[in-house]
Amino acid sequence: MDPHGAHPSSKPLLETLTARLRNMAHRLTTPRRDILDALRRGAHPMSHRQIHSALRGSCDLATVYRSVHLLESAGLVQRFDLGDGVRRYELLGEDGHGHHHHLVCRRCDRVVELLECFAPELEQRVASQSGYSGVTHRLEFFGTCPACQSA
Amino acid sequence: MDPHGAHPSSKPLLETLTARLRNMAHRLTTPRRDILDALRRGAHPMSHRQIHSALRGSCDLATVYRSVHLLESAGLVQRFDLGDGVRRYELLGEDGHGHHHHLVCRRCDRVVELLECFAPELEQRVASQSGYSGVTHRLEFFGTCPACQSA
DNA sequence: CACCACCTGCAAATCGTTTGCATTTTTTCC
DNA sequence: GGAAAAAATGCAAACGATTTGCAGGTGGTG
Ligand SMILES: [Mn+2]
Ligand SMILES: [Mn+2]
Ligand SMILES: [Zn+2]
Ligand SMILES: [Zn+2]
């Protein structure tokens, strides 16, 4: 595994993403297309602020918040919570394909993308034992990266 | 499993907790003792605000924030992030004993305490594959509780 | 019981995020 | 292509959680 590696999976075409958005009966606006494109280029989860800077001010920060909300409810992006109070987002494949987790350095915030998801069978067990339905999970790892260990 | 069940493990004595705090070279103040006691009584992770109300205003909310910080760095409490922007805390046993996870209803926020922790072997694997050290994890489950399913 | 380092209350500041409203865009339909 | 309706944006103000500065209060030690 490459410690700095980004998503190895082929990135979806921007055209594919905008099509998905329109299929959900939403308008395709310039900010939304640009946000999707920024996320497509990003190797790791991006905060609203990071997305906004990647857009170089082409739209307002409030619009980034509103658009990301929409993309999330449309199932195009997934939210990640890496422990600081900041929400981060990544593109999500159709039907939830592309679900995965991260390993974050406590010192320098370096992120490793973890390709496998371990927990689906756990979801099953948790669901059947509790009676809850539609069980999902959120899992992130934390540690000290090689660089920060020697420093 | 009891869907509403709280921690089944025996609760530590307040005296034990205050001793642990003092061993870390920290003062035992009234707010700190009261906060430990509130957490000891709580069945689920508590937010700063919940702790503060449990104290019935006996100390300031800012003091709750500062004290919980201290308790966290002293290893007496563990932080949980249940998806809303609010941090919650539970007592943690010595040497990290008592680590566990939760299942939260997306509709009514009902919390189920999950007794087992599945991920230590995953930590191992993640650590050896990435070169990170001191790997820990954060894992929570979300779903719809039986009551909210019928509603 | 006095001292001092540490802690607390209070209020203001900070930070991420949300929202109201007037204006601009997108889409639909001629 | 252009007009009209519906929806999205920009801007600034509001918000809720958390942090912080400072002046006064307290715990633990000798
Ligand atoms: Mn990722
Ligand atoms: Mn718990
Ligand atoms: Zn690092
Ligand atoms: Zn519920």
* pTM, 2 dp: 0.90
pLDDT tier at B9, thresholds 50, 70, 90: low
The Cα–Cα gap between A115 and A18 comes to 25
Q: Yes or no: say if B35 and B51 are a contact pair by the CB < 8 Å rule.
A: yes
Tell me the CA–C1' distance in angstroms for A52 and C12. Answer: 29
Residue B6 has pLDDT above 80, yes or no: no
| Residues B93-144: tens digit of each pLDDT | 998 888 999 999 999 999 999 988 878 889 999 999 999 999 999 999 999 9
Find chain B residues with C-beta within 8 A of A122's C-beta.
118, 141
The Cα–Cα gap between B45 and B50 comes to 9
The architecture CATH gives domain B3-150: Orthogonal Bundle (1.10)
Would you kindly state where each structural domain of chain B is located, as residue ranges?
Answer: 3-150
Tell me the CA–C1' distance in angstroms for B72 and C28. Answer: 58
Ligand nearest to the CA of B42: 2
- Which residues place a Cβ less than 5 A from the ion ligand 3? A 105, 107-108, 110, 145, 148
The Cα–Cα gap between A119 and A127 comes to 12
Find chain B residues with C-beta within 8 A of A130's C-beta.
1, 3, 103, 112, 143, 145
Alpha carbon distances (Å) from B15 to A50, A52, B33, B34, B62: 47, 51, 9, 12, 24
- Rounded to whole angstroms, the maximal C-alpha distance in chain A is 52
Q: Yes or no: say if A142 and B137 are a contact pair by the CB < 8 Å rule.
A: yes
- Percentage of chain B surpassing pLDDT 90? 75
Choose among B64, B138, B134, B141: nearest CA to B104.
B141
| Residues A35-53: tens digit of each pLDDT | 999 999 999 999 999 999 9
| Dihedrals phi, psi of B78, to nearest 5 degrees | -120, 140
Q: Yes or no: say if B142 and B103 are a contact pair by the CB < 8 Å rule.
A: yes
Select the residue of B105, B123, B141 nearest A137 (Cβ to Cβ): B141
- Percentage of chain B surpassing pLDDT 70? 94
**pLDDT reported for residue B7:** 59
pLDDT tens for chain A, residues 1 to 151: 444 555 656 788 878 889 999 888 789 999 999 999 999 999 999 999 999 999 998 999 999 999 999 999 999 999 999 999 999 999 999 988 889 999 999 999 999 999 888 788 899 999 999 999 999 999 999 999 999 999 8
The alpha carbon torsion through A34, A39, A40, A43 (nearest 10 deg) reads 150
The whole-angstrom distance between B27's CA and the closest CA on chain A is 28
**pLDDT reported for residue A9:** 60
* B119/A139 CB distance under 8 A: yes
Q: Yes or no: say if A69 and A79 are a contact pair by the CB < 8 Å rule.
A: no
Find chain A residues with C-beta within 8 A of B86's C-beta.
none
